[in-house]
């Protein structure tokens, strides 16, 4: 992923230096386990640890790979240059390349999951804070982009919190799903390596042994992992699109923070554009673009091919680095987001009283009017408000059919905003477990 959309801790996980360090630890721990089993001499296993503080030379490994055309062999050759050819002769004994590659890849994915989980918790904190801050800040709810009925800005933040809380659970499950390793040898039968070696290596790396591998770790695990990232990305876009709509000039109920010296347009100095949330929409597309390739990686030939390898070299870093950046960016947007309660009320009253139509409809039916007639009475008065910007309540009070069923006091009561916020506390308890 390009530096513009990258953060250093996540990038470091995917660096060649980190990868080769993990490869080294897999090989060294495997040697220890084989020495414990008496398969190789103890002194050879200990000799491998002479490289524990070595910074592996990426350029040198690339130079060897240019000849061998095999990345794992290139690394093992370079390792022997540090450990000694004779001392290193038992390294990788009974193992196959996928034992190193797949176990390393899963270690990296687990580490990325830990960062993403932490990112998500920070986003949840921001969403909760803003939800409590605007718990009773009334705004109009919209369906199909059209005024529907009143809600609150706090409920908007709360529903995003609930969605991201589900995503936290998805990330935790994705981490669990991917936290396996395999040191099972060619075609996964352990013919040339004891299962105890796998158990030892996995324990040292914080993984569980893969119950059954076929030279590769099953890719349904990876498909589930990247699918979870895709869902998180879609939720990021869900929030971003709402903020973008709120910032539209005709709406302006909320907006991204606009910093001192920031410019919105090279041509129009008045512009304040929702560039961060538009960026988040684009980044979400990139994360989701990893999901289908990950699904297609599940089907490999027989016990193994490497059609998945080139895909994972790209989607592993790109999807996790991008999602990390997006979660951090969204947290910043939520933290600093500007909210305009006065505009919310102005928008709601753009067609005075119109959003209370359902209350009047229900009152008429409860007063004995058929639903069909009640709907007709309410709609004909609502259409006047749409067309002439009159006051809905005044139109109702002037309608003899309505007044024959409801008193002026009963109509007046139907325009109480508090009616629409009476269960906000209940919803907040459901979401946050507190009032």
Cα–Cα distance, 18 to 249 (Å, whole number) = 47
> Residues 221, 227, 233, 238: what is their CA dihedral angle, to the nearest 10 degrees?
-140
144 is catalytic: yes
Cα–Cα distance, 431 to 429 (Å, whole number) = 5
pTM of the predicted model over 0.85: yes
The residue from 265, 307, 404, 407 that is catalytic is 265
Cα–Cα distance, 150 to 127 (Å, whole number) = 21
Report the candidate in 320, 232, 245 with the shortest Cα–Cα distance to residue 278: 245
Rounded to whole angstroms, what are the CA distances from 284 to 234, 237, 332? 6, 6, 16
State the alpha helices, DSSP H only, in 248-340.
275-288, 291-296, 309-336
CB 157 within 8 A of CB 165: no
The residue from 85, 143, 144, 266 that is catalytic is 144
Q: What are phi and psi of 139, to 5 degrees?
A: -140, 165
Report the candidate in 153, 170, 183 with the shortest Cα–Cα distance to residue 345: 153
DSSP state of 261: T
Q: Which pairs count as long-range contacts for 409-418, CB under 8 Å and 24+ apart, including other chains?
A: 410/363, 411/360, 411/363, 414/356, 414/359, 414/360, 414/363, 415/353, 415/356, 415/359, 417/138, 417/150
- Angle at alpha carbon of residue 425, lines to 419 and 427, rounded to 5°: 95
DSSP state of 433: S
* DSSP assignment of 168-215: HHHHHHHHHHH-EE----GGG--SSS-HHHHHHHHHHHT-EEPSS-SS
Cα–Cα distance, 77 to 101 (Å, whole number) = 16
pLDDT at 285: 98
Residue-level pLDDT, tens digit, the chain, 435 residues: 689 999 999 999 999 999 999 999 999 999 999 999 999 999 999 999 999 999 999 999 999 999 999 999 999 999 999 999 999 999 999 999 999 999 999 999 999 999 999 999 999 999 999 999 999 999 999 999 999 999 999 999 999 999 999 999 999 999 999 999 999 999 999 999 999 999 999 999 999 999 999 999 999 999 999 999 999 999 999 999 999 999 999 999 999 988 767 777 777 888 788 999 999 999 999 999 999 999 999 999 999 999 999 999 999 999 999 999 999 999 999 999 999 999 999 999 999 999 999 999 999 999 999 999 999 999 999 999 999 999 999 999 999 999 999 999 999 999 999 999 999 999 999 999 975
Cα–Cα distance, 427 to 381 (Å, whole number) = 33
CB 123 within 8 A of CB 331: yes
């Amino acid at each position: 992923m390009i530096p513009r959309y990258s953060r250093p801790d996540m990038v470091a996980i995917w660096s060649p230096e980190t990868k080769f360090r993990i490869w080294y630890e897999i090989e060294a721990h495997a040697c220890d386990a084989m020495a414990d089993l008496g398969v190789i001499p103890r002194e050879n296993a200990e000799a491998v640890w002479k490289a524990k503080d070595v910074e592996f030379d990426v350029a040198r490994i690339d130079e060897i790979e240019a000849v061998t055309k095999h990345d794992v062999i290139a690394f093992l050759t370079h390792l022997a240059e540090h450990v000694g050819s004779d001392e290193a002769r038992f390294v990788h004994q009974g193992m196959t390349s996928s034992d190193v590659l797949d176990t390393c890849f899963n270690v990296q994915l687990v580490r990325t999951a830990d960062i993403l989980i932490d990112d998500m918790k920070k986003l949840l904190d921001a969403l909760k804070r803003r939800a409590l801050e605007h718990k009773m800040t009334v705004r109009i709810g919209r369906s199909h982009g059209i005024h529907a009925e009143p809600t609150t800005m706090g409920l908007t933040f709360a529903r995003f919190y609930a969605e991201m809380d589900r995503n936290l659970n998805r990330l935790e499950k994705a981490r669990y799903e991917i936290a396996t390793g395999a040191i099972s040898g060619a075609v996964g039968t352990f013919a040339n390596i004891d299962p105890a070696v796998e158990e030892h290596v996995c324990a040292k790396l914080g993984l569980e042994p893969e119950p059954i591998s076929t030279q590769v770790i099953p890719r349904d695990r990876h498909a589930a992992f990247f699918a979870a990232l895709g869902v998180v990305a879609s939720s990021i876009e869900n929030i971003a699109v709402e903020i973008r709509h709120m910032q539209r000039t005709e709406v302006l109920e909320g907006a991204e923070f606009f910093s001192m010296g920031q410019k919105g347009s090279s041509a129009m100095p008045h512009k304040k554009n929702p560039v961060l949330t538009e960026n988040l929409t684009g980044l979400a597309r990139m994360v989701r673009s990893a999901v289908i390739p990950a699904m297609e990686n599940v089907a490999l030939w027989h016990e193994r091919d490497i059609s998945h390898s080139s895909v994972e070299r790209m989607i592993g870093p790109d999807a996790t680095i991008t999602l990390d950046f997006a979660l951090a960016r969204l947290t910043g947007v939520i933290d600093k987001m500007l909210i305009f309660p006065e505009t919310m009320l102005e928008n709601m009253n753009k067609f005075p009283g119109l959003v209370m139509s359902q209350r009047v409809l229900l009152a008429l039916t409860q007063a004995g009017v058929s639903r069909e007639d009640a709907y007709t009475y309410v709609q004909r008065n609502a259409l006047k408000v749409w067309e002439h910007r009159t006051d809905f309540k005044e139109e109702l009070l002037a309608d003899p059919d309505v007044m024959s069923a409801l008193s002026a006091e009963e109509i007046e009561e139907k325009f109480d905003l508090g009616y629409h916020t009476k269960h906000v506390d209940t919803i907040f308890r459901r979401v946050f477990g507190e009032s």
